[in-house]
Structure 1
């Protein structure tokens, strides 16, 4: 005969840990990016962004007050297209 004992607190702790790991892995999508997020997402400096594609007529950007905002989905689409054209991918 087999007797199994389960520590409910340990099971709860393990479950919470796994849930936290999964939530940390989820890319929470933003509607807009600011310049800091654009730099983080592209791994490029602000100077490089301005030199390479910022002034491209198709690059989606809006200036709200003194802050640049970029619609996330449109910006991703532009960046992928730009990268393919620039990198020959």
Structure 2
């Protein structure tokens, strides 16, 4: 006969940790980013963004009214490609 013992507290802690991780991921996903969110997602200042990649023709952006918007998925994809292109110093 096989006997299995489960530590309910451990199961609950693991469940809550995984739930927290997934909720954080969902919370971070937005359809569009504005400049403030782009700065937050890249950990870069607006000036640094404009200096490094904002004017790259591949960078997805759209100005609506007086505000820039960036499609989140396409922007993330661009950023991952862009960072790989940067030299290691």
Alignment TM-score, normalising by the size of structure 2: 0.70
What does residue 69 of structure 1 align with?
69
Following superposition, which runs of at least 4 residues in structure 1 exceed 3 angstroms of deviation?
Answer: none
Range 37-46 or range 25-34, more displaced: 25-34
User: What runs of 5+ residues in structure 2 fail to find an aligned partner?
Assistant: 1-11
Q: What CA distance in whole angstroms lies between the structure 2 residues aligned with 1:39 and 1:78?
A: 15
TM-score (norm 1): 0.70
Provide the C-alpha distance between the structure 1 equivalents of 2:39 and 2:54, rounded to a whole number of angstroms: 12
Structure 2: distance between partners of 1:45 and 1:57: 20
Q: Does 1:43 align with 2:43?
A: yes
Q: Which has the larger radius of gyration?
A: 1
Matched, 1:22 2:37: no
Q: Which residue of 2 aligns with 1:58?
A: 58
Aligned-residue Cα RMSD (Å) equals 2.3
